[in-house]
């Protein structure tokens, strides 16, 4: 008999497997968040408008880069199930196809992003100095898109095979390099936004180049498999498009929220960015658990072990709740000094704390939602995740902003509360869709 954890009903082996896989993913996500925090930190040192630029451009870049993440999710579903089946040749072929598809798509997106850059920023509500500085910074980010898509494919390939330590080492090196270059370009050469953009670009080029080198060196991709094949492309496309649309929908909602936030001034916009960066510290922990659950569910479904796949869901929910509650309480107790790290402006600090006190509550429903969404991914029901996020944004988040702002006159608090209630909706809807999951479904 397998040993269970007393009072919880979890098998120790399941918990161990989840922790071993999730821990490097969580650390990788944390380092990636630290990477973004470094940019925000140095932007705050340059000036208030620069700090607002960071939060303003973030959802735009996330929306664009999210397309590559969506294709990676589609490839990851296939790879994890093939790993479960033990089909090594097909794994290598899918790895190669995923890398090629991501490179091709990224080049197209980079070109289009430069063409429509100014119009995208103006649509988002930028004008004057904010438009000028956002345009400068985001063009550096656009140049990193091909490398970002390559990194996304690399991380998916490694994680789907249970090799989650490899991305951790790589992202750690990239984060240290980015922080070093930011410090050098800002403190020594006084390059301002140019320096922050250049640091991000250089770090991504180094990281992306190494990803291709390592995948080829370790024979996880083959040159003869790099030519895109219709059948593999369509399988990745079928599973990846819903995930891409999910990311695009989420990011588009933040772009629309920017339109509302800008109305209350650059202080509120900067606070919104600071709050999101800090809140993401907890979210990366929970999202890392969700990613691990998706991989383990996919591998067990591929191996035909449905019971074990369902056990991983329960393990993920319990772990997510524990991590979420501990993190939420800990951050709440040190909220003031944490916010002080990002801004010394009294108004920005006040708005940031108000936002975080509301958003920290949403950690609990999110801790349950992520493992459920992981089941949708691991079983190939990526459309279910798309439905949840679409409803979260367009049925609840945006309408609630209008209601809270125009009827209840909550001003910027209308945005904070709408985000909380929309996350609660995502959890309720995910329960409904979970009942419709076909665990035997072939992808």
pLDDT reported for residue 9 = 54
Q: Which helix (H) or strand (E) covers residue 11, if one does?
A: strand 10-11
Tens of pLDDT along 313-358?
999 999 989 988 998 898 888 888 888 877 777 888 888 888 888 8
Distance CA 259, CA 269 (A): 10
Statement: the pTM of the whole predicted model exceeds 0.75: yes
Beta bridge partners of 4: 11
pLDDT reported for residue 205 = 93
Distance CA 325, CA 371 (A): 16
The number of beta carbons lying within 10 Å of the beta carbon of residue 338 is 17
pLDDT reported for residue 395 = 82
pLDDT reported for residue 94 = 94
Chain centroid, CA 427 distance in Å: 18
pLDDT reported for residue 222 = 95
Among the residues of 116-229, which ranges form H helices?
A: 117-123, 128-143, 145-160, 165-183, 192-217
pLDDT reported for residue 10 = 64
Query: Which of 4, 26, 10 has its CA nearest to residue 315?
Result: 10
The number of beta carbons lying within 10 Å of the beta carbon of residue 6 is 7
Tens of pLDDT along 221-275?
999 999 999 888 888 888 888 888 877 777 777 777 777 887 888 788 888 878 8
3-state secondary structure of 137: helix
Q: Which residues of the chain have pLDDT under 70?
A: 1-10, 55, 442-443
Name residue, tokens 């991590």: 323
Distance CA 209, CA 205 (A): 6
3-state secondary structure of 162: coil
């Amino acid at each position: 008999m397998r040993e269970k954890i007393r009072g919880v009903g979890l098998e120790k082996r399941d918990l161990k497997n989840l922790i071993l896989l999730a821990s490097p993913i969580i650390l990788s996500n944390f380092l990636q968040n630290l990477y973004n925090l470094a940019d925000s930190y140095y932007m705050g040192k340059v000036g208030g408008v620069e700090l607002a630029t960071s939060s303003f451009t973030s959802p735009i870049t996330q929306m664009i880069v999210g397309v590559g993440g969506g294709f990676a999710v589609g490839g990851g579903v296939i790879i994890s199930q093939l790993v479960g089946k033990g089909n090594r040749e097909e794994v290598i072929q899918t790895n190669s196809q995923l890398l090629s598809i991501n490179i091709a798509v990224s080049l197209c997106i980079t070109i289009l992003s430069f063409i429509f850059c100014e119009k995208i920023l103006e649509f988002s509500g930028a004008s004057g100095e904010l438009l000028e500085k956002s345009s400068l910074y985001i063009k550096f980010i656009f140049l990193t898109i091909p490398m970002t898509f390559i990194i996304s494919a690399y991380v998916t390939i490694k994680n789907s095979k249970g090799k989650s330590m490899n991305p951790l080492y790589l992202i750690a090196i990239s984060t240290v390099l980015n922080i070093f270059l930011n410090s050098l370009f800002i403190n020594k050469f006084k390059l301002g936004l140019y320096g922050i953009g250049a640091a991000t670009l250089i770090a991504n080029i180094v990281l992306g180049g190494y990803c291709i080198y390592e995948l080829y060196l370790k024979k996880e991709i083959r040159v003869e498999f790099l030519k895109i094949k219709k059948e593999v492309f369509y399988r990745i496309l079928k599973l990846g498009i819903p995930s891409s649309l999910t990311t695009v929908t989420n990011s588009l909602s933040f772009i629309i929220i920017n339109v509302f936030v800008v109305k209350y001034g650059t202080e509120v916009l900067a606070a919104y960015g600071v709050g999101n960066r800090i809140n993401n510290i907890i979210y990366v922990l929970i999202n890392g658990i969700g990613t691990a659950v998706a991989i383990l569910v996919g591998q067990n479904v591929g191996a035909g072990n449905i019971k074990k796949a369902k056990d991983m869901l329960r393990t993920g929910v319990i772990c997510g709740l524990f991590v979420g509650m501990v993190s939420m309480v800990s951050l709440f107790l040190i909220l003031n000094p944490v916010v002080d790290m990002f801004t010394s402006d009294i108004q920005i600090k006040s708005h940031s704390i108000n936002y975080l006190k509301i958003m920290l509550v949403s950690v609990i429903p999110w801790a349950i939602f992520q493992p459920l969404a992981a089941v949708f991914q691991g079983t190939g029901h990526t459309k279910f995740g798309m439905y949840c996020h679409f409803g979260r944004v367009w049925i609840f988040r945006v309408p609630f902003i209008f209601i809270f702002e125009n009827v209840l006159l909550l001003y910027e608090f209308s945005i904070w509360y709408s985000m909380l209630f929309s996350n609660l909706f995502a959890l309720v809807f995910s329960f409904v869709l979970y009942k419709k999951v076909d665990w035997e479904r072939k992808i």
